[in-house]
Amino acid sequence: MRPAELIRFKQSGRAITMLTAWDGLSAALVEEAGADVVLVGDSLAMVVLGHATTLPVTLEQMLHHSQAVCRGLNKPLAERPLVVCDLPFLSYQCGLDRAVAAAGTILKESDAAAVKLEGGEPEVVAVVDRLVRMGIPVMGHLGLTPQAVHRLGYRRQAIDPRSQDKLHRQAKALEDAGCFSLVVEHVPAELAGRLRRNLSIPVIGIGAGSDCDGQVSVTADLLGLTPSQPPFSPARMQGRELSISALKSWLTEQRDQGATPTTPPPPQAPDC
């Protein structure tokens, strides 16, 4: 799977599916399930590393997990899903050269084929333009952007006409800069549908209604492994409860069996 193939999916009306992965095991599950795109999301800061937000995760950690995800894919190379890696906070906001180095490191030292970055301000659009011109495919991300949590929170975005027009302009700017697709998170469905109709690149929604070219979800949320799910991504199974129950059952069995008492060896006769 290559980035340009997602654009062909949009043109043919084929829905795009994208799931997150954070290690070899989760990558194998997502691949076997048949996802088109595997996102090594910076959500692993919370899902795996125990942070409260995505902000603390580093470029080195994202590379480490991207490598693990790529190693976990089992299908022949030509049949594998597209692997996209999030660029973490402060890896692309501090100058064009630093952004190119960060994105280039991900593609050079793992089998990821593209990067994703958040925002649509002019500085971010300039980064996208530079990365694309350097041969690095870029996926954009607008709406609820977790790296801006201290400014935006986790609430729904673009709910008034003015902010919707701004987001639409940002989306067009990202497309013009060369993004091959765009994630829109926690925005009104009407806005996501308008973007889908007005952009030539795929619009992939999460909490943005069904009128998108595809959908993305955090795998741990779908499996019910996280303590709480976002309102737009309900769990498909109670994975946390099932896992704890299975572990408790095993622990109880071991305790009920008890340990085998150790019989001390008989005393030996002294040497004469």
Q: 60 catalytic, yes or no? A: no
Phi (first) and psi of residue 53, to 5 degrees? -140, 180
DSSP character at residue 206: E
CB 43 within 8 A of CB 141: no
3 state DSSP class of 26: helix
133: number of Cβ within 10 Å: 11
Strand residue runs (E) in 87-180: 114-116, 138-143
Both tokens of 138, joined, read: 């870029």
SS3 assignment, position 227: coil
| Cβ–Cβ under 8 Å, residues 86 and 39 | yes
Contact 42, 86 (CB under 8 A): yes
Instruction: Give, in order, the Cα–Cα distances in Å from 12 to each of 5, 7, 9, 208.
Output: 11, 9, 5, 21
Indicate which residue of 185, 190, 241, 253 is catalytic.
Answer: 185
Count Cβ atoms within 10 A of the Cβ of residue 234 and give its class: 0-12 exposed, 13-18 middle, 19 or more buried: exposed
DSSP 228: S
Q: Which residues are catalytic?
A: 185
